[in-house]
Amino acid sequence: MKGLILSHFNNVMGPRVFLSEPNDIGNQYKDQITELMNLYRQGFFLHEFGGVKTANLIFEIKNSEARGGVEILMISLVVLGTSEIDYNMSKQYLEKFAERLDSLKNVHSAFHADNGVNEDDEKASKELDELFHSFHESFPDISILNPIKASIFVYGLTQAGKTTIVQSIQNKIIKENPPTISMDVSQLVLENLSIMVYDAPGQEKYRDLWAPHIVGQDGLVFVVDISEEKKYDEAMKVLKDIATRKNTADLPLLILLNKIDIKKPKMKTIKKYMNSRTLGRRPLKLFKTCAVKNEGVQEAFSWLAKEMVSHMK
């Protein structure tokens, strides 16, 4: 079973379900769905709760009379049962819905009918209802029978930005994170890979926790704080220690040069430390990132996902 839910962020009431098909799905999951508008940033993301899988797109439409000059909306595909969501197809369809909605004349007035309705408002509401219904009816089969499952190990020195990187790739609102002191495990879907992410604590006293989780990985992500040049030697030792073990030596390795908003990386110096001569023959790439601004993160993980698929064949 699948359903479609359109949520609207009301400046007084907060997030609320505005339209849903079938109707009962909006009532049953309204609290969980609307809360996503407080957890995630604008854009596309997948989220699962209690066995319910959702694909969501938070987007804006212009309204000069609204606070900030925009209305904030979220369109959500809700899938019940054991099916997995096709990342690319659902993203494409939700973006198409947002584009079509934005093209409707005066559609913003449909979200404020309680302020009084005129003929134009009624027309906008009717067109929005018709668009929503047609998209629900035409949405294709989005399940994948055999999703590819994979695991990646994210590591680095403490406070390098590992947890923020994971939050960024999940499109979550970035919060200030205390140092990780245990192995955080989360899941994300990227390029139709269902990926378990192991976010390792960076402090030296917790590195014994890494060993059981290194076995069985399909890719490695090393995060380095490029503003801490004095720690490059230590970072290189940690990078090489994990990346050159017998069971990791051929895995795709993604190196994230994080915090480029603080300091511009000296690529000559960095490449001297982190290159194929010291890390072996394997898929290897360096990306400059700013996790708090989500710069470079999506591109980096897209590269890793493609390399992992090739490696797993």
The β-bridge relationship of strands 143-144 and 184-190 is: unpaired
Q: What is the pTM of this model?
A: 0.66
Rg (CA), the chain: 22
Contacting residues for 197 by C-beta, under 8 A, at least 6 apart: 151, 152, 154, 166, 185, 186, 187, 188
Q: Which domains does the chain have, with CATH numbers?
A: 2-144 (3.30.450), 148-312 (3.40.50.300)
Using the structure block, give the residue that is written with the tokens 């609204």.
66
> How many Å is the maximal CA-CA distance in the chain?
71
**CA pair distance 173, 207, nearest whole angstrom:** 28
CA distance 17 to 11: 14
Query: So what's the pLDDT on residue 152?
Result: 93
pLDDT number for residue 94:
93
Phi, psi of 75 (to 5 degrees): -105, 130
What DSSP state is assigned to residue 139?
Answer: P
DSSP β-ladder status, 184-190 and 193-199: antiparallel
> What is the signed CA dihedral for 113, 119, 123, 125, rounded to 10 degrees?
10
> Would the pLDDT of 171 be above 90?
no
Judged against a pLDDT cut of 80, whether residue 187 lies above it is answered with no
CA separation (Å) from 10 to 14, 37, 42, 61, 204? 5, 11, 16, 13, 46
pLDDT given at position 145: 45
Pairing state between β 43-49 and 52-62: antiparallel
Averaged confidence pLDDT in the chain: 84
Q: Whole-angstrom Cα distance, residue 86 to residue 274?
A: 35
274: pLDDT strictly greater than 80:
no
Inter-CA distances, 229 with 207, 233, 235, 257, Å? 21, 9, 10, 11
What strands, in cross-sheet order, belong to the sheet with 14-21? 14-21, 2-10, 70-79, 52-62, 43-49
- Interior/surface letters 135-154, b for 16+ CB within 10 angstroms, e for the rest: bbeebeebebeebeebbbbb
As a whole number, mean pLDDT of residues 260-266 equals 82
pLDDT band for position 38 (cuts 50, 70, 90): very high
pLDDT, tens digit (0-9, with 9 covering 90-100), for 69-107: 889 999 999 988 777 787 778 888 899 999 999 999 888
pLDDT digits (tens, 9 = 90+) for 234-257: 889 899 999 999 999 999 999 999
pLDDT of 60 above 90: yes
Tell me which of 114-118, 163-167, 208-212 is least confident.
114-118
Per-residue confidence band for 265, with pLDDT thresholds at 50, 70 and 90: confident
